[in-house]
Amino acid sequence: MKELKVKVLENAPLASGIYRMRFSLPEPVEGVQCGKFVNISVGDGAHLLRRPIAICEADAKSVTICYQLKGTGTRLLSRAREGAELSCILPLGNGFCIRPQERRVALVGGGVGIFPLVSVLREYAGQHKDFYSYLGFRSRNAVCMDHIFSSQSVHTVIVTDDGTRGLKTTATAAFFDDFENAAPDIILACGPTPMLRALKSGLAERKIQLPCFVSLEERMGCGIGACLVCSCKKEGKDENVRVCKDGPVFSIDEVEI
């Protein structure tokens, strides 16, 4: 993990209310892997807290993040021009891991939760994995990066909340509808809490016992395990985990969702 001054290379709209930013790294950084995240300043000293954003794509010299305009921080971030310097701590968190024996991989993503799943596709490309992707968006004009999923997956299903693209349903429902076809060895998911909750209850109802890892989103302060702002409860225990340091990726059985 390093705190670096990164330089904005591109920062432009990707879909309705969503921006894609690529920034250059001033020096090599180890461990920039799928499912990890960055904690990035928004370019304004008045907003001291950095914002946590998943690593979407990365190479030796640059990192790409994609973010939804939500509140003040992400709006300020969208104004950063090419050449702007931002303070960034990276890589943070544990990330996704697919073991060699897990060949068939289901990716279930909702909204901005699809971005860390893009990093999974990139990292495991050429490693003999069969991906089955189920992606949910608010509406047709929020759909993005679908071509990356469809070009690298055996099967990709896009659905929307309003039915303007694909069926009017959720990514989780689309996944369970296609479960027998996908026959996954492992499930990786990221998305809004109701989506992850539906995934957890759907697996329990169907008595499906497969490795299933979810990336959680919690409000964060420090991003490095010191402030406990991001605590969430361990399932069935009176103990907490820190999403920034112990996660953001957890086995779905390990945490209360």
Ligand X SMILES: Cc1cc2nc3c(=O)[nH]c(=O)nc-3n(C[C@H](O)[C@H](O)[C@H](O)COP(=O)(O)OP(=O)(O)OC[C@H]3O[C@@H](n4cnc5c(N)ncnc54)[C@H](O)[C@@H]3O)c2cc1C
* Minimum separation from the CB atom of position 115 to ligand FES (A): 19
Neighbour-count burial of 241, counting CB atoms closer than 10 A to its CB (0-12 exposed, 13-18 middle, 19+ buried): buried
- How far apart are the C-alpha atoms of 49 and 74, rounded to whole Å? 12
With beta carbons less than 8 A apart as the criterion, state whether 154 and 130 touch: yes
Number of residues binding to ligand X, judged by CB under 6 A: 21
With beta carbons less than 8 A apart as the criterion, state whether 88 and 38 touch: yes
- How far apart are the C-alpha atoms of 117 and 146, rounded to whole Å? 11
From 66-74, 83-91, 140-148, 180-188, span contacting ligand X (CB under 6 A):
66-74
Q: Determine, following the binding rule CB under 6 A, whether residue 23 of this chain makes contact with ligand X.
A: no
Nearer residue to ligand X within complex by CB, 115 or 175: 115
Structure tokens at 14: 């990707």
From 119-127, 136-144, 178-186, 213-221, span contacting ligand X (CB under 6 A):
213-221
Query: How many Å separate Cα 16 from the centre of its chain?
Result: 18
Query: How many Å separate Cα 198 from the centre of its chain?
Result: 17
Residue number closest to ligand X, CB atom: 71
* Minimum separation from the CB atom of position 124 to ligand X (A): 19
Q: Determine, following the binding rule CB under 6 A, whether residue 217 of this chain makes contact with ligand X.
A: yes
* Minimum separation from the CB atom of position 245 to ligand FES (A): 6
For residue 251, the cross-strand partners are 213
* Minimum separation from the CB atom of position 125 to ligand X (A): 20
* Minimum separation from the CB atom of position 12 to ligand X (A): 15
For residue 57, the cross-strand partners are 64
- How far apart are the C-alpha atoms of 247 and 141, rounded to whole Å? 31
Q: Determine, following the binding rule CB under 6 A, whether residue 91 of this chain makes contact with ligand X.
A: no
| H or E, element range at 194 | helix 193-205
Structure tokens at 64: 């790409």
Taking CB under 6 A as the rule, which mask of x and - marks residues 220-249 in contact with ligand FES?
xxxx-xxxxxx-----------x-xx----
Q: Determine, following the binding rule CB under 6 A, whether residue 52 of this chain makes contact with ligand X.
A: yes
Q: Determine, following the binding rule CB under 6 A, whether residue 231 of this chain makes contact with ligand X.
A: no
Structure tokens at 125: 């490309």
From 1-9, 52-60, 98-106, 171-179, span contacting ligand X (CB under 6 A):
52-60
Q: Determine, following the binding rule CB under 6 A, whether residue 218 of this chain makes contact with ligand X.
A: yes
* Minimum separation from the CB atom of position 98 to ligand X (A): 19
